[in-house]
Amino acid sequence: MDWGCEVDVRAQPAAVTDYIYDVALSPRFAQDGTCFAARASGLYRSTDSGASWQSCLDSLGTDAPLAATAVGLSPAFAMDRTVFAGTNGGVFRSTDGGDSWQYLSLGAPPPVVTALTLSPAFATDGVVLAATLDDGVYRSVNRGDGWLGWNFGLIDRHIHCLAVSPGFAQDGVAVIGTEHGLYTSGNGGRSWREVDALRASAPVTAVAFAPDYVSSGAWWAGTGHGALVEMRGAAMRHRETPERPDGERIQWLAPPDPPHGRPLTAVLESQVAALGPSGWQWVSLWPDEGASITCAAHALDGAGRLTLLVGTSDGGLWCGPVDTANSPGWRG
Amino acid sequence: MMPPTAPPAFRFRQTPGVVFDLKALVRMRRGVNRVVDTLRPTLGPFPRAVAVETAIRARAPELLDSGGEIARRIVDLPEPTENVGAMLVRGMLWRLHERIGDGTVTAAILFQSLFEQGVRYCAAGSNPMLLREALERAVTPILARLAGMAVPVCGRQQIRSVALSVCADTALADILGEVFHVVGEYGAVEIRPGQRGESRHEFVQGSFWDGGLHSSGPGGLSQRVEHADAALLISDLTIDAPQDFVPVLRAAGQASVKRLFVVCKSISEKTSALLHQSQRTETLQVYAVKVTEAHAGMVHAALDDLAALTGGKALLGAAGDSWAAVRPECFGRARRIWADSDYVGLVSGNAEVAALRQHIERLKNALQNADDGALHDALLTRIGKLLGGAAIVHTGGDTDSDRKYRTAQAKRAASTIRAALRHGVTPGGGVALLDAARTSHDLWRAACSEEERVAFRMLEKALQAPLRALLANCGVEPGSVLADILRAGGGAGYDARTGQIVDVCAAGILDVADVVSTAVQYAVKHAGLALTVNAVVHHRNPPVMASPDGLGV
């Protein structure tokens, strides 16, 4: 399997343990090779598909490295060059691809941002959702200039992950995974309803919508114990894989692409796996006992090939294509 | 010759004693008709008001368009047997009004039709007991048909349509549609008369309770205090002397608390002054606040909710708790706690999520079983606060009575919207009942016994009656428009605003499913019961105030 170059970020001026909180790929990664990594030592950018990285937040002139805890790119990044970075205390916005930044206050007390998601129609609706560690969800409708907390119905405000539907601008559907469960919104993130779909009240650590969600109604949630929940339609029919005996946390989900034969792919703490032919067993694509994966992001090229960017707890970054058809252990 | 006696202060009415059989039913029917015909014009999208004279005649009459409220004002018809009929239907309507707040006029018209038909059948020799049993059996498939038509409310526009059908005020319906689209069926919504001008609304983060700061020093109650990452000690105890408070300060030190809000029933002036001094220090700032509710039980409920929301423990005098029992684990926490002269609130409490979830479920179960209106409202308010956030609707208007009227309309609409969100909606404008009438017709054809046939036939006619009344209120000829509707097929109804036959669901003409079903249930049950009356016994000489003819007090 071709995983591209491993970057030795220990060569960068960074803390010994430079935990990577979040990564993001440009929507046109296959063309521009741009990606971002939010880490304890700050926000880093690569424009050569992860071969080299540069610090982005130096322009702020802080005395000490400013930890970045989340990063989100505009769906129209190629045109508007807009990037949001979440920190311990607020959000920064850049409109020049990460060269300069503007601080955006979320109000007091300043929250720790754990995830940032922009509306697929961000260019017109300006909607950004910020998930936080203890303060629920913040929402902006003016590209980040102003933020309000919207937490009606949200009894667990410790949020791990956040995703919006491909048709968010019309249907207002969003999903958040929290420390104790799963919540959905049908009004653009202004209120939340708990989904009673997990056998136990488990932390939900990854969520993903099917690209054809508008017609299929399908989306998935992965838990901190390695279980996968599939939801289909308004009736919330769900299936759940057994929890992995090793209890590995699902850090990221890339939805399936049936026309190109690509199954649902999950990034766990120590491996990348895909759903097997039976549909409910994990098949390992990349076992690497040394790594402790903390986050991931994916991009697709025009032919539907999946590229993953994976961050680890010791500051490692791995970027490369995932070929589920030819991976060892994959029996398609 | 006996000297003439002074006229009595009361005029004693000569009552008939006991009235039997058909005579009783016929007179009762007249009483029923008087009540229902009074309510009939209030049905539909253009309700007319009923003026109710007040006890003090010099005052302006009450103008009402709610069936339950109007029926309640009708107290004593002059003819006693008619009055019995009137009170039977009045009682049904008030119970219905208490239970669901809407659907009373529909239920009244259904009752009237069933009773009218039933009296004729009894006059022809039918057994009213068998008829009643047949009616109660026959209504079951009708209710099932109505339940099958219910669909969930989807989106702001549908919620707005439900609101519009109740309050007939587009600005208010827009606001309520927006509000309930956000807060949902359990969300906290406060409706208050606003200032002069248009109605408006706002959303408030977190939860808040009536009460606020105890007087905290020379500044009095004028300040608002708000702190981030503060602790909350919850109790219904009193602080009579500063020494009482020492264990609290010790526990706060052990828990590394820097800012503490203490909920207590009362606080002595000396202790209050000491707390006021503490607010100027950095070590530990303490604020005494209170939570006030209508009665002690509700205060305890509020304290329980605060404890659930913040992960703290409520200290209750009735449980033998005291300030000496305070430990670090008693403190609740929240990301923000605030208090002013009237309220105390918090945002993002440090709840133990599983415990909070269970607490909310318990309250929701209690809400399902709550029959009492006040208990129902109290439980709903508690659940809304626990879910976090509130919406406040300020009703506008040019005069006080405008604003008061709009507030009452908005509250009714809010109650109906919650029912719609919980139970779903059905095609409105009498169309759901018309569809149920078709079902009744099919069942009549398949019925085996005579009583069943009679019951289904009665139901078929009765279920058409609300639509006929609505059409008459719209100023059209009911028979011909009904024929057009039937010809147009399922889902078609009359849009009073455009005068067209339309698909009512597509046009946003909706009724709350639970309201329609409950109205049918109540009407059938009470009409069936009323038909079994064989004799009416009157008080021999009940005193009545001399009053003019008509609907006397």
Give the per-residue pLDDT at A139: 97
CB B165 within 8 A of CB B157: no
Classify burial at B362, counting beta carbons within 10 Å of its beta carbon; exposed 0-12, middle 13-18, buried 19 or more.
exposed
pLDDT of residue B359: 97
CA B488 to chain centre: 36
- Return the residue of B nearest to A156 by Cα: B353
Q: Is A96 on the interface with B (CB under 8 A)?
A: no
Task: Give the residue-averaged pLDDT of B477-488.
Answer: 92
CATH 3.50.7.10 residue ranges of chain B are 207-351
The domain B17-151+427-538 belongs to what CATH superfamily?
Answer: GroEL-like equatorial domain (1.10.560.10)
- The pLDDT, as a whole number, for residue B166 is 83
Sorted by sequence, the CB contacts under 8 Å of residue B106 that are 6+ apart come out as B43, B433, B466, B515, B516, B519
Q: How confident is the model at residue A210 (pLDDT cuts 50, 70, 90)?
A: very high
How confident is the model at residue A3, as a pLDDT?
29
Which H helix or E strand runs over B233? strand B225-235
Contacts of B229 in chain A (CB under 8 A): 109
For B67-78, how does the pLDDT look when each residue is reduced to its tens digit (9 = 90+)?
Answer: 888 888 888 888
Q: What is the pLDDT of residue A11?
A: 29
Interatomic CA distance for residues B553 and B540, integer angstroms:
20
pLDDT mean over A253-265: 88
**pTM: predicted TM-score of the whole model, two decimal places:** 0.84
The shortest CB-CB distance from B389 to any of A109, A151, A181 is to A151
Provide the percentage of residues in chain B whose pLDDT is more than 90: 60
pLDDT at A234 over 70: no
pLDDT at B235 over 70: yes
Strand partners, A252: A267
B151 close to A (CB below 8 A) = no
Percent helix, percent strand, percent coil in chain A, to nearest 5: 10, 45, 50
For residue A182 the two structure tokens come to: 């799963």
Beta-bridge partner residues of B233: B262
Q: Is A76 a residue whose pLDDT tops 90?
A: yes
Q: Is the pLDDT of residue A314 over 50?
A: yes
Q: Does B156 touch chain A (CB under 8 A)?
A: yes
Strand partners, B137: none
By Cβ distance, the residue of A135, A155, A186 closest to B335 is: A135
**Distance from C-alpha of A135 to C-alpha of A191, rounded to nearest angstrom:** 14
Radius of gyration of chain B (CA): 29
Backbone CA torsion sign across B296, B297, B303, B305: negative
pLDDT at residue B552 above 90?
Answer: no
Is B10's pLDDT higher than 60? no
Start-end of H helices in B311-399:
353-369, 373-387
Rounded mean pLDDT, A8-27: 65
Tell me what pLDDT residue A288 has. Answer: 56
Q: Which residues of chain B does CATH 1.10.560.10 include?
A: 17-151+427-538
- Cα–chain-centroid distance for residue A136? 17
- The conformation of residue A40, written as its DSSP 8-state character, comes to T
Judge whether residue B386 has pLDDT over 80.
yes
Residue of A135, A151, A154, A155 to mutate for B, most B C-beta atoms under 10 A: A155
Per-residue pLDDT at A63: 80
Cβ pair A157:B348 closer than 8 A: yes
Distances B241 to A304, B82, B205 between C-alpha atoms, Å: 74, 67, 35
Q: What is the pLDDT of residue A286?
A: 64
Give A186's contacts in chain B (Cβ within 8 Å). Answer: 155
pLDDT, mean of residues B91-97: 89
Q: Phi then psi for A49, rounded to 5 degrees?
A: 60, 35
Taking contacts as CB-CB distances below 8 angstroms, the residues of chain A near B360 are 155
The more confidently predicted of residues A187 and A302 is A187
Tell me if chain B has a CB within 8 Å of the CB of A269.
no
Instruction: Go through B100-120 and write b for each residue having 16 or more CB atoms within 10 A of its CB, e for each that does not.
Output: bbbbbbbbbbbbbbbbbbbbe
> How high does pLDDT run on average in chain A?
86
Q: Which DSSP state fits B317?
A: G
CA-CA distances (angstroms) from residue A304 to A30, B109, B199? 11, 64, 52
Pull the structure tokens for residue A96.
């020049």
In whole angstroms, give the CA distance from residue B156 to residue A134. 29
Identify all chain B residues contacting A155, using CB atoms and an 8 Å cutoff.
351, 353, 356-357, 360, 386-388
The per-residue DSSP string of B511-553 comes to: EEHHHHHHHHHHHHHHHHHHHT--EEE--SS-EE----SSSB-
Using the beta-carbon criterion (under 8 Å), do A136 and B348 form an inter-chain contact? yes
Enter the ipTM.
0.88
B181/A187 touch (CB, cutoff 8 Å), yes or no: yes
| Domain B207-351 top-level CATH class | alpha beta
> Among all residues of chain A, which has the CA nearest to that of B183?
A152
- DSSP character at residue A167: T
Residue of B nearest to A193 (CA): B184
Spell out the long-range contacts of A244-250 with Cβ–Cβ below 8 A and sequence spacing 24 or more: A244/A268, A244/A282, A249/A203, A249/A205, A249/A223, A249/A224, A249/A225, A250/A205, A250/A206, A250/A222, A250/A223, A250/A224, A250/A226
Q: How close, in Å, is residue A255 to chain B by CA atoms?
A: 27
| pLDDT on residue A144 | 97
Judge contact between A205 and A296, C-beta under 8 A.
no
pLDDT of residue B207: 95
Name residue A102's beta-bridge partners.
A93
Q: Is B534 on the interface with A (CB under 8 A)?
A: no
What are B441-470's pLDDT values in tens digits?
A: 988 888 888 888 889 999 999 999 999 999
For A187, the closest of B182, B229, B335 (CB atoms) is B182
Of A18 and B546, the one with more pLDDT: A18
Of A166 and B56, which is predicted with more confidence? A166
| B348 with A190: Cβ contact below 8 A | no
pLDDT of residue A279: 66
For testing contact with chain A, the best of B387, B392, B421, B422 (most A CBs within 10 A): B387
Residues across chain B: 553
- The better pLDDT of the pair B285, A202 is held by B285
pLDDT for B4: 52
Is the Cβ of B242 closer than 8 Å to some Cβ of chain A? no
In sequence order, the β-bridge partners of residue A140 are A128
Paired residues of A293 in beta bridges: A312
pLDDT digits (tens, 9 = 90+) for A97-146: 999 999 999 988 999 999 999 999 999 999 999 999 999 999 999 999 99
pLDDT tens digits for range B171-205: 999 999 999 999 999 999 999 999 878 999 999 99
CA distance A151 to A130: 12
- Predicted confidence (pLDDT) per residue in A118-130, tens digit: 999 999 999 999 9
Inter-chain CB proximity B348 and A201 less than 8 Å: no
What pLDDT score was predicted for residue B72? 84
Structure tokens at B371: 């029959």
B529 neighbors B115 (Cβ within 8 angstroms) = no
- Which residues touch A194 (CB under 8 Å, ≥6 apart)? A153, A155, A181, A182, A183, B357
| More reliable by pLDDT, B259 or B65 | B259
Residue B549 pLDDT > 60: no
State the average pLDDT for chain B.
Answer: 88
Among B191-205, B500-514, B535-549, whose mean pLDDT is lowest?
B535-549
What pLDDT is recorded for position B489? Answer: 84
Tokens 């269970």 belong to B358
- Model pLDDT, residue A287: 58
pLDDT score, position B19:
83
Give the model's pLDDT for residue A127. Answer: 98
Q: How far apart are CA A222 and CA A293, in angstroms?
A: 15
* Cβ pair A152, A190 in contact under 8 A: yes
- Comparing alpha-carbon positions, the chain B residue that sits nearest to A172 is B155
pLDDT at B46: 78
Query: With contacts defined as CB-CB under 8 Å, which chain B residues touch A154?
Result: 388
In tens, the pLDDT along B290-302 reads 999 877 788 999 9
Mean pLDDT calculated for residue range B53-75: 81
Question: Over the stretch A171-188, which tens digit does the pLDDT of each residue have?
Answer: 999 999 999 999 999 999
3-state secondary structure B434-463: HHHHHHHHHHHHHCCCHHHHHHHHHHHHHH
Residue B399 tokens read as 């005069």
- By C-alpha distance, the chain A residue nearest B360 is A155
Interface A-B, measured as beta-carbon pairs within 8 A, has a size of: 61
Report the distance separating Cα B8 and Cα A320, nearest Å: 105
pLDDT band at B381 (very low <50, low <70, confident <90, very high): very high
Neighbours of A54 (CB within 10 A): 12
pLDDT for A17 beyond 80: no
Taking only residues 192 to 211 of chain A, the set having a beta carbon closer than 8 angstroms to any beta carbon of chain B reads 193-194, 201
pLDDT above 50: residue A331? no
